[in-house]
Amino acid sequence: MRQTLSNIYRLGIKELWSLWRDPIMLVLIVFTFTFAVYSSASSMPETMNNAAIAIVDEDHSPLSQRIVSAFYPPQFSPPEMITPAQMDAGMDAGIYTFVLHIPAEFQADVLANRGAEIQLNTDATRMSQAFAGSGYIQQIVLGEVATFLGSGSDAASRVRLEERARFNPTLDKSWFGSLSQIINQITMLSIILTGAALIREREHGTIEHLLVMPVTPAEIMISKIWSMGMVVLVASALSLNLVARGLLGVPVAGSLPLFFTGAALVLFATTSLGIFMATLSRNMPQFGMLVVLVLLPLQMLSGGTTPRENMPEFVQTVMLAAPTTHFVELGQAILFRGAGLDVVWPQLLASAAIGALFFAIALGRFRKMIANG
């Protein structure tokens, strides 16, 4: 047993030195856990941020002025007052995403209950802002009209809804974006690093050198798993503390040791998956194409991008076999909601079971690859 542990340790150190001498992989690690996390958090596509809006006010009434003054940063840029002749030209040139046209006699029609109308022109080529912004503008206009009419005397308005957002009181989507991106990058990088380590051994011919040494395939595989897994854990810990918490100011609600315990169990599965995929590939280009085919479903269908409840039931059932599904649930529960072991133990257990299964499959494939040369 002591000799086995010594072999695993020394082979792992060899993997770390090989990684240190690979500048491309080092750049990938740094980029993945710094710029990629920051850019994903600060440019969430569904977030309204300084959307360009112009207003054509032909009424010039107190009500129209209330509506104009209701648009302000950060959701919208300060509205630009334009004439009807400038509206179409500004939309065609892409200067404005929204143009709100308030017709003459609008306030008089509202007060006389004559069915007043406002026209909203939207540049639908800016899809994310167009769909979200149209709803925001409708709420703002209707809210200002209701306030202007003094609708507090209506029966429905006597019930006031007080909305409180838990876990993210300011509804800042950069909180969700940065932490979710770290969770996704842990999966991606662990698969790439372990697979690339094995491909590098085969391309350089060093795998044959290992075979003549008194080491077993299991020791070789475990050494790659612990070394590359440790690199990903350290990089993700630095990213979580320096980029997410430090640079972006994202609070972490739960226990980081518990989160990284879950991450270690998931890494056991994903690194084994990376080795299995490397045994199916003859070179790095083949491995890269295989990574794309496997990684995209793992990330898109695990619940990190869209809620699993929105997916077909068949997909939800199949994705229970993916370690990323349980990792997303575990990570969001701990980092966002401050969940403890009593809440996330099913995900920890599932991750360990999937990891053991993936390891057994990958080890069998690895032994077959070695036997066939």
How far apart (Å, rounded) are the C-alpha atoms in residues 50 and 97? 10
Name the DSSP class of 94. Answer: T
The dotted CATH code for 53-158 is: 3.40.1710.10
pLDDT digit string, tens, across residues 228-255? 999 999 999 999 999 888 888 888 888 9
| Confidence (pLDDT) at 159 | 41
| Confidence (pLDDT) at 152 | 46
- Those residues with Cβ within 8 angstroms of residue 43's Cβ, 6 or more apart along the chain or in another chain: none
pTM above 0.75, yes or no: no
- Those residues with Cβ within 8 angstroms of residue 56's Cβ, 6 or more apart along the chain or in another chain: 81, 82, 83, 84, 87, 99, 100, 101, 102
How far apart (Å, rounded) are the C-alpha atoms in residues 109 and 112? 5
How far apart (Å, rounded) are the C-alpha atoms in residues 149 and 160? 17
pLDDT digit string, tens, across residues 295-325? 888 888 887 777 777 788 888 889 999 999 9
How far apart (Å, rounded) are the C-alpha atoms in residues 88 and 192? 50
What number of CA atoms fall less than 13 Å from residue 337's CA on the CB side?
11
| Confidence (pLDDT) at 138 | 86
Say if residues 216 and 11 touch (Cβ distance below 8 Å): no
Domain with CATH 3.40.1710.10 in the chain: 53-158
| Confidence (pLDDT) at 370 | 78
Sequential pLDDT tens for the chain (373 residues) = 788 888 888 888 988 888 888 888 899 899 989 888 888 777 655 556 778 899 999 999 999 999 999 998 878 889 999 998 888 888 877 788 889 999 998 889 888 888 788 888 888 766 667 777 888 888 888 888 888 887 544 434 444 445 555 566 666 667 777 878 888 889 889 999 998 888 888 777 777 677 677 788 888 889 999 999 999 999 999 999 998 888 888 888 889 999 999 999 999 999 999 999 998 888 888 888 998 888 888 888 887 777 777 788 888 889 999 999 999 889 888 888 888 899 899 999 999 999 999 999 999 998 888 777 6
Say if residues 328 and 186 touch (Cβ distance below 8 Å): no
3-state secondary structure of 251: coil
Cis peptide before 45 (omega within 30 of 0): no
Tell me, rounded to whole angstroms, the distance of Cα 251 from its chain centroid: 16
How far apart (Å, rounded) are the C-alpha atoms in residues 322 and 345? 17
Q: Residue 343 CB: number of other CB atoms within 10 A? A: 16
The sign of the CA dihedral 152, 154, 155, 159 is: negative
| Confidence (pLDDT) at 229 | 92
Amino acid residing at 84 = P
3-state secondary structure of 48: coil
How far apart (Å, rounded) are the C-alpha atoms in residues 231 and 113? 67
**Residue 250's closest CA among 187, 336, 334, 166?**
336
**Per DSSP, what are the bridge partners of residue 51?**
76
Amino acid residing at 290 = L
- Torsion angle, alpha carbons of 229, 234, 235, 240, to 10: 120
- Those residues with Cβ within 8 angstroms of residue 345's Cβ, 6 or more apart along the chain or in another chain: none
Instruction: State both tokens at 306.
Output: 């869209």
| Confidence (pLDDT) at 170 | 63
| Confidence (pLDDT) at 168 | 66
